[in-house]
Amino acid sequence: MISLRLFSSFLFSLGLLGCGPSDGPHVTTPAQPSETVAAPAAKKEIALVMKTLTNPFFVEMEKGARRAEKDLGVNLTVKTAAQETSIEQQIQLVEDLVAAKVHAIVIAPGDSQRLIPALKKAHDAGIKIVNIDNRLDPQAVQQAGMLPVPFISVDNEAGAYKAGKFLTVGITSSTQAAILEGIRSADNAQQRARGARRALEENPKIKVVASETANWKIDEAYEVTKQLFGKYPNIKLLFAANDIMAIGAIKYLQAGKKTDVKVAGYDALDEAIAEIRAKKMVATVDQQAAEQGYQGVALALRLSQGSVVPATTTIDTRLVTAASLP
């Protein structure tokens, strides 16, 4: 009779055999790491602040910015004041964008100095700033404790010089000229007036008898032109620092049946091109508004990504005359 102890030992040994390796190969499958899918990077929130959309120049600027939005994959917010002289409204727009915590602001300021305190708030909040079209006063920017703001525009003085020079072609006898300026506190207005005056005065036969502001506005240009011709009825050359004012001047000249005055503008708006084709205007300057808008958004994106960008980006200007049109 087998003892209980021996029987238990026998069962234990069978158990060990059952736990031994099988006759086939043994494959160990390593544990697979769990797959992680990176969340798509959030789009940068970029704002474009312009002076107005009543001027077709800024309509074109927005088109360029919208093209950049699509090409570069950003979220673009466009804000505009009611008029080019609505500086306080533009200031409020900037402050609203600071509260909204956008990543960058691209601004075409209506004034070269008055927007700086609001932009300083944006700067202090870590919002990147790109300046287009009208240059912020560099000294005022520095005094506000801000870093230099990247600037994109054209050489406004050189562009206005081209238009002014075209006005002087064929002038060989004493001739009076006048200039319609933009907002005098705006850097681009100052440059355009300076460039046109320099070109006109290079011809010793030409005398600039007046240079008055019409604040970029069509109706104001009509009234200022009326006043100028009331005082200087023999003006034959007129440079307007933007096409809107040039068209306002032309409306007065048409009403007064003054057909012997050569008018040049600035911006190459479709309306100005039409006036050139109709021989009511002799020249304008194309400063590529859409390209300024596009490049503004592109630089803002690069800044928000931590890249270094040029201090100044200059867009080419092109003189538009009847001869240059297709």
How confident is the model at residue 144, as a pLDDT? 97
How confident is the model at residue 156, as a pLDDT? 97
123 and 239 assigned to the same domain: no
How confident is the model at residue 317, as a pLDDT? 96
Q: Is residue 22 part of a domain?
A: no
Token pair 């958004």 in the structure block, residue: 297
| Assigned token pair, 167 | 């006005």
| Assigned token pair, 194 | 């300076």
Q: Is residue 279 part of a domain?
A: yes
How confident is the model at residue 160, as a pLDDT? 98
Q: Indicate if the alpha-carbon torsion angle 96, 299, 110, 221 is positive or negative.
A: negative
Q: Is residue 188 part of a domain?
A: yes
Token pair 């104001």 in the structure block, residue: 220
213 and 244 assigned to the same domain: yes
- Compute CA distances 22 → 19, 26, 27, 30, whole Å: 9, 8, 12, 20
Please provide residue 45's backbone torsions phi and psi, each rounded to the nearest 5 degrees.
-95, 110
135 and 257 assigned to the same domain: no
How confident is the model at residue 40, as a pLDDT? 59
131 and 174 assigned to the same domain: no
How confident is the model at residue 266, as a pLDDT? 98
CA separation for the pair 61, 227 (Å, rounded)? 33
| Mean pLDDT of successive 10-residue stretches along the chain, which has 326 residues | 40 39 37 48 93 93 98 98 95 98 97 97 98 97 96 97 98 98 96 98 98 97 98 98 98 96 97 97 97 98 97 96 96
132 and 55 assigned to the same domain: yes
How confident is the model at residue 42, as a pLDDT? 87
pTM more than 0.85: no
How confident is the model at residue 4, as a pLDDT? 38
Token pair 């800044």 in the structure block, residue: 303
Count of domains forming the chain: 2
